[in-house]
Structures are given as C-alpha cells and as structure tokens.
C-alpha cells in the first residue's frame, strides 16, 4: 500500500509539472482545469447557468468549501505580499472565494497594512494579476478569485479618489452626482484589479448617538434608497460588483450602543419592513447588486446571519437577490460566542450555511471556517445540495463579472491614467461642495466679505486637524488641506490670518465631563484665554469645532451629543468678546448645539469632509460656493428626545400643547429638522400640478412644480416632495419623503421640477403584512424641509 501511495504521489507530481508546461490560454477561452479541452464552464458562448452547473460537477468537496470563505489580504491575515511556495500547502491550494483588501496600503488605527505594491497604480494592477495567476495556474480547477475591497468614502486604496463621509454624501441630495461618484469608485476598482466593492451602506441611522451615523446616508429610507441605488448603478456600470451593507436591522442597537453590544434592536415587524428593509428591497429590485453583507446583530432573538427568514425567504425569494451573501466580520462566530444560540462554533457554521450564507469573512485564517464546514459535510449534517447551491451563487457572480473569460487586468499600465484623475478630483470636490449645509446665518453675516475682514482668527481644535478626512473605509495617503490652510490659501495677502487652538477636542476626564462638570485646568484656561485675546484683535472669528475619528465612527457610540470637552466653553468665551463668530462644525453625527444656535450668528455644517476640506470650507465661508446641502438626519435638541427622527408615526413626536396633552416638563421639537438647510439666496415655489387628480391603484401620478431663484446669487435648492395618506387601515407615518430633486438656478431663473409617484410610493403594509395601495385621498406636500412646507395638493386613488 505504501508503494502504491508513493507511486500515486509521483504521478501527481508529474502531472502537476506537466500541467505547468501546458499553455492554458487559448484564443477566446482559458483551460482553467488544464485538461486540454474546452469544457462547458470554459466556453463563453454557454449560458452562465450551464457553466455553473458544469463547473460544480467537476469540483470536489475541498474545492467547494474553499469557495465559501474569504482570505483577508496582506497584513490582515495573509502574511505574504506575493505567492510563495508554501501556498501549495495552505488551505487555499484548492482555491478561495475572495481576497479582501489585498495590497491596498490601508492606514488606520486598527488595521495598518503598508505594502510596496499599492502605488504606482499600475504596480498594484500587476501585483493583483500575479496573485490571480497563481490561483488560475496552480490550483486544480483554476477558479479565479473575487478581489473585494471597501468603498464607502471612495475606494479603500492608497491615493484613490477620496469622498466625504457618507453622511456628507447624503447631504448633497444629488442623485446624478452620487451616480458619478459610484462610477469613479467602480472604474478605479476595475483598473486596480478589484472586482467587488463593499458599498454602499444602506442602514437608516435612526439613533443619533450611534457611532456609525457618519457612515450612513441619513435617517430616511427613501433618501437612502434613492442615493444607494445610484451608487450601486454607478459601481456596477464599470464591471465590478457592489455589495450592500449591513443587512439587516443593524443600525439601531439598544440605546445606540456599538462595540461589544451591536445587538438587540427594538424594532417591530412593520417598522422593520417600512424603515430598515425598505432601502435594501428597493435597491436590490431596481439596481440588482451582486453582493449583500449579512450583519452580526439579531432581530427578535434570532441572529441575522443564522436566519433562513432573512437570508433566504426575504432576500432571495421576496426581494429577488441573485448574488452572493458575505458575512460581516465575526457574524458567524457571534452566533455562538455572543448570541449563544449554538452550543459550539461548528453548530454556528451549520446554522449560517443552512440559513443562506455563501461566504464567511473574518480576520482569521479561512480554515477556521472551512475545516468545521468539511466536518459537517462528512457527518451528513449539511447536505451537498445546500453546499452546491451556496457555491453556485458565488460562481455565478464570478461568471457575471467575466472572471472566467478575462481573469486578469487587461492593461495594468492603464491604471496610472484611470485612477484619481483630474476629473475625479473635480468630482470629489463637487461632492464636498454640495455636502455643505448652512444651519444659521443671522443678518447675512455669511458669506464673509473678503474686502471687509483684514484680521481673521481661525481657532478651535479641528482647525488644524486632518484625521477626519481619512477613513478606515476609504483611500489613504492623499494630502489633506486643513481649514486653517484653506482660509490662508484663499485669502492670500488680502488679510492677516491668526491661529490659536483654544482647546483640545476633549478634556482629560471626557466622557465623564459630559455628566460631571469639572473646573478648567490652568492649561485649559490659558488656551481659551489665548484665543480670546487674539479674538479681540480680530475682525471676525472662524471657530472650527466638533469631533474627530476618535470621537465618532465604528464602535464609538456617544452618550451625549454636545460639543465634546471644553469646546462650548471656548465658543462662549469667544462670543463674549462681541466679535462675530462663525462656527464651522466638523462632525459625524448630529450635535445638540442649543446654546450655539441661540447665540452665534452663523453656523456651517461640514460633516467629515474629504481631503479638500479646507479649500471647500473657505470657498463656502467667503461665497464662492453657495451652500445648498440639506440635512439627511434630524438634529434633536437633547438626547432625552431620542428616538426623534423622520418619518414618524402620527403624534409620536408631538409636544405638550395639543389635545389630551398638558404640562411643561419637556423640551420639544427639533433643533434642525430633516431636510433643512439655508442658502445665500432665496427660492420660491409656485404652480403645483398633480395629474391625474383621480386615478387607480396601479397607475403613476405625475407632480410638477415651478421653483424660482428670487435672490441675488446663483444657488442650489433641493425641492422635496412629501406624501401624506389621509386615512388608512393601519397606522402609517404622518407623512414621508417620496421625491426630491436638487436644482441649480441663476438669479431670476425658473425651472419646472417633475416627479413621478409610482404605486410603490403609495403602498402600505396592510393588516396581513401585504404591500397594498388602498383607495382614498393622498396629499402631496412640496417643501424646503420636512417642516417648511410651501405648497399642498390632494389627489384620490379609487
């Protein structure tokens, strides 16, 4: 037997050596399995389903299970920048589903991954080809790898085109611009060798304390669906996959808590469908993304990643998703370790795979998932029918991406001309400009007159900071222009620009100082005094305050939403000088800036802008950029109001001055409502027309309205359409966003804005949880925010 074994080993080695000598690349096809003939799966003329079926029939269990796991890229899990001989003994000798963030040179607090192969861009494309070549030529079946990467702030790659934080993208309310941003992300991914981008995030940010508000498009499901759809279409138009995050009900952990919590969302079934699943359903049905990432939270006691209802019944059978599901990191492990609905990790693997998970991702070696999965198959605890179905989904995406026809980047050198071009930088700058939201402008202090202010103080802990412009989920190593430098560059020799930090972002006792006020230290008092002294010598003060990457983001939920640390004390001291104070906010979530709103004359919301932050903020403060962004999320006055968001059920956010209401015990109303944002010019609405005024439940309704710039400056306005269902069989939201359009108008210019309401826009979930358009009257409201409604008209559905 030993002799026979040795003989087979020698034969295998000989076959392997001869396979390496065989030319597998032929005109129009690749001999992936190296058998010297064109199999059905290798034939580009065959249908994808036939190719998948043929490939599956030739794969063994080891190869199939390898197509169900992620290998995290170099420095995260993979120890080698390039293939080495040892790979022949690693588990991926039988292939791998995807390699994530490979050689992207990420810089972050948690995952530094320097590499020599990220730049120039052509060097990375060639490096990806080298890794892909190993899998095509050195594995038995030659199945190409899907190279995945993050992309919510722009592609997560060294010096790729950066974008503002998603909450800033959401503030643009510009569908066409988001489509262009998606195209840029997709084109750059394709040029660099990535084939799948983890973007966009479709989670509605309903709790303003949650740390990842900064990475969401906002709180309203319709706004998120519309922008998310455009991002997916833009990415996939460039020939790469878009993977949606984070499915599902991920963004409302109890109390907004993140980190180790990330669990127990208190969401009723109807609310789940109307708010949290709505963006996923619409984007899947209208943009057909090839990927979905399953989240690591539960809903109603069942982990999402172990839920057949979520991963199969809803996602595939109802929504029509036909790509593959990848787990968020540790989502499978949490079934056992956190949620404790499995007795051991192997049982967690079984639950996830049977539920519908295709590919497991975690920051551990892929065999930690693959080996238990193989044991389950061997023990007949998972059927090969399920395995073939899960693997088939992965292979189908790889065929759709063209990896079995062209597994390599065709022209690596072209990447140097395709990534972060001048046009891309201009697009990125435009997103930055359009994300600016003007919150207050008393007595038209803004825009600042360049000729009037000759001594300008730039102060505040964010004035010279840069870290907010670089995200763990976006590009790195792009030079950043601070707000201080932006103002200096803009003004040049026209004014004297002074800088005093004033205070740090937080004090030594923060976050305890949010609940226990402590005296200023001598150093803190001196910092504020220094800023005050310089303010007295200045004509105007630009105070740059807010949060940085250590104060908001993943795992960084806050318990209070005031300006952190001593920043309010700095603002109060500056305001007491009598000099005009313009507050610029760099932050990732709504802040409860009540005192600031009451006493400061001007406030500009910049969110987490991208690397051109200083330039775009200076342009906005001095009038070259007229801010036209609108808030995609409600600013509450206090965390005691939370949940406080839009849309809301009738009277659920009422004050204490109505029917069956009395007393004076609470602060009521929003600080700034959803959809709010000022401009340096004025707009008027007229001629609202709804057609037909009486229609049927299957027909569209057309709405037109005229908007006119009645001011003296060119500017953008976001025309917002809200829909109110007067009487319904179940309680619906008071009114909800069902259309928006950003328009740019010169002084005196008028445009007609056209909306089309589809039956889905009028539908509700009835008592039997079926989407239904009920007969009755509906009101169309046109406004400049969810509270500033200008025109109304009623139509009837029979």
Which residues are designated catalytic?
Answer: 328
Confirm if 105 and 151 have CB atoms less than 8 A apart.
no
Report angle CA 416, 422, 425 to the nearest 5 degrees. Answer: 105
- Residue linked to tokens 């996959």: 241
Which token pair is 276?
Answer: 């949290």
Question: Are 351 and 309 within 8 A, CB to CB?
Answer: no
Residue 175: what are its φ and ψ, rounded to 5°?
-65, -45
84 phi and psi, to 5 degrees? -130, 170
Residue 166, burial from CB neighbour count under 10 angstroms (0-12, 13-18, 19+): buried
3-state DSSP call for residue 545?
strand
Q: What are phi and psi of 144, to 5 degrees?
A: -65, 155
Q: What are phi and psi of 242, to 5 degrees?
A: -110, 130
Give dist(CA 328, CA 150) in Å, integer: 12
Angle between the N-to-C axes of helices 384-400 and 48-58, in degrees from 0 to 180, rounded to the nearest 10: 130
Residues 6+ apart with CB under 8 A from 138: 83, 87, 88, 93
Is the bond preceding residue 120 a cis peptide, omega within 30 degrees?
yes
Report phi then psi at 235, rounded to 5.
-65, -50
Helices and strands (DSSP H and E) totals, the chain: 22, 29
DSSP 23-55: --EETTEE-TT-SSS--GGG-TTS-HHHHHHHH
How many whole angstroms from its chain centre is CA 259? 18
Give the number of other Cβ atoms within 10 Å of residue 375's Cβ: 14
CB 532 within 8 A of CB 577: yes
Calpha distance 332→306 (Å, rounded): 8
Contacts of 61 (CB under 8 A, 6+ apart): 374, 377, 384, 387
What whole-number distance in Å separates Cα of residue 276 and Cα of residue 269? Answer: 10
Residues 339-374 as b/e (b if ≥16 CB within 10 A, e otherwise) read bebbeebbbbbbbbbbbbbbbbbbeebbbbbbebbb
* Alpha-carbon radius of gyration of the chain: 28
- Is the peptide bond preceding residue 51 cis, with omega within 30 degrees of 0? no
Which residue's entry shows tokens 């409860």? 592
């Amino acid at each position: 037997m030993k002799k026979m074994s040795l003989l087979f080993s020698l034969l295998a080695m000989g076959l392997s050596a001869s396979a390496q000598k065989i030319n597998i690349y032929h005109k129009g096809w690749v001999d992936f399995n190296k058998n010297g003939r064109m199999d059905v799966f290798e034939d580009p003329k065959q249908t994808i389903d036939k190719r998948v079926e043929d490939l599956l029939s030739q794969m063994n269990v080891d190869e199939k299970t390898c197509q169900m796991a992620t290998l995290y890229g170099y420095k995260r899990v993979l120890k080698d920048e390039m293939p080495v001989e040892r790979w022949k003994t690693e588990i991926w000798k039988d292939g791998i589903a995807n390699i994530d963030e490979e050689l992207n040179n990420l810089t972050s607090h948690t995952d530094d991954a320097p590499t020599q192969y990220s730049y120039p861009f052509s060097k990375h494309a060639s490096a990806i080809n080298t890794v892909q070549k190993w899998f095509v030529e050195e594995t038995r079946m030659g199945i190409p790898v899907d190279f995945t990467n993050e992309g919510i702030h722009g592609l997560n790659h060294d010096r790729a085109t950066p974008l503002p934080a998603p909450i800033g993208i959401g503030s643009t309310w510009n569908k066409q611009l988001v489509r262009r941003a998606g195209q840029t992300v997709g084109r750059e991914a394709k040029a660099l060798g990535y084939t799948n981008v983890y973007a966009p995030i479709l989670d509605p940010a309903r709790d303003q304390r949650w740390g990842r508000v900064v990475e969401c498009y906002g709180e309203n499901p319709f706004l998120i669906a519309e922008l998310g759809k455009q991002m997916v279409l833009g990415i996939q138009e460039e020939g790469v996959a878009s993977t949606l995050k984070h499915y599902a009900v991920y963004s409302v952990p109890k109390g907004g808590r993140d980190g180790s919590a990330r669990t127990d969302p208190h969401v009723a079934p109807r609310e789940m469908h109307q708010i949290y699943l709505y963006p996923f359903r619409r984007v899947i049905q209208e943009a057909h993304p090839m990927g979905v990432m399953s989240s690591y939270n539960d809903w109603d006691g069942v982990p999402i990643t172990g839920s057949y209802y979520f991963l199969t019944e809803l996602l595939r059978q109802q929504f029509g998703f036909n790509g593959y599901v990848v787990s968020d990191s540790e989502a499978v492990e949490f079934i056992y370790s956190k949620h404790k609905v499995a007795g051991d990790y192997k049982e967690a693997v079984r639950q996830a795979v049977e539920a519908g998970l295709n590919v497991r991702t975690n920051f551990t070696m892929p065999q930690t998932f693959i080996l238990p999965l193989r044991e389950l198959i061997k023990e007949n605890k998972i059927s090969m029918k399920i395995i073939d179905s899960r693997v088939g989904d992965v292979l189908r995406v790889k065929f759709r991406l063209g990896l079995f026809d062209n597994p390599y980047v065709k022209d690596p050198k072209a990447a140097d001309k395709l990534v972060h071009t001048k046009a891309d930088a201009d697009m990125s700058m435009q997103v930055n400009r359009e994300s600016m939201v003007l919150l207050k402008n008393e007595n038209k202090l803004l825009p600042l007159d360049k000729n009037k202010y000759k001594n300008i103080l730039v102060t505040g802990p964010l004035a010279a900071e840069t870290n907010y412009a670089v995200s763990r989920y976006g590009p790195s190593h792009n030079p950043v222009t601070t707000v201080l430098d932006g103002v200096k560059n803009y003004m040049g020799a026209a004014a004297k620009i002074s800088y005093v930090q004033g205070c740090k972002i937080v004090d030594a006792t923060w976050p305890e100082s949010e609940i226990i006020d402590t005296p200023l230290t001598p150093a803190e008092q001196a910092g504020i005094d220094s800023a005050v002294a310089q303010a007295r010598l200045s004509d105007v003060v630009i105070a740059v305050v807010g949060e940085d990457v250590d104060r908001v983001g993943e795992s960084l939920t806050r318990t209070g939403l005031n300006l952190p640390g001593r920043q309010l004390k700095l603002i109060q001291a500056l305001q007491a000088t009598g000099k005009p104070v313009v507050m610029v906010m760099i932050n990732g979530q709504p802040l409860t800036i009540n005192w600031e709103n009451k006493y400061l004359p001007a406030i500009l919301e910049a969110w987490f802008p991208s690397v051109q932050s200083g330039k775009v903020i200076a342009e906005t403060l001095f009038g070259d950029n007229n801010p036209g962004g609108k808030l995609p999320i409600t600013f509450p006055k206090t965390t005691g109001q939370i949940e406080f968001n839009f849309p809301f059920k009738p009277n659920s956010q009422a004050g204490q001055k109505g029917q069956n209401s009395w007393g004076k015990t609470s602060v009521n109303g929003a600080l700034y409502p959803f959809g709010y944002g000022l401009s340096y010019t004025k707009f008027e609405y007229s001629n609202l027309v709804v057609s037909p005024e009486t229609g049927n439940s299957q027909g569209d309704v057309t709405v037109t309205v005229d908007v006119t710039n009645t001011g003296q400056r060119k500017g953008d306005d976001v025309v917002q359409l809200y829909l109110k269902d007067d009487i319904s069989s179940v309680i619906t939201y008071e009114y909800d966003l069902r259309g928006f359009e950003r328009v740019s108008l010169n002084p005196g210019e008028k445009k007609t804005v056209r909306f089309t309401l589809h039956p889905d826009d009028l539908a509700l979930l009835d008592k039997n949880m079926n989407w239904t358009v009920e007969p009755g009257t509906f009101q169309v409201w046109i406004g400049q925010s969810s509270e500033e409604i200008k025109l109304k008209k009623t139509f009837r559905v029979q």
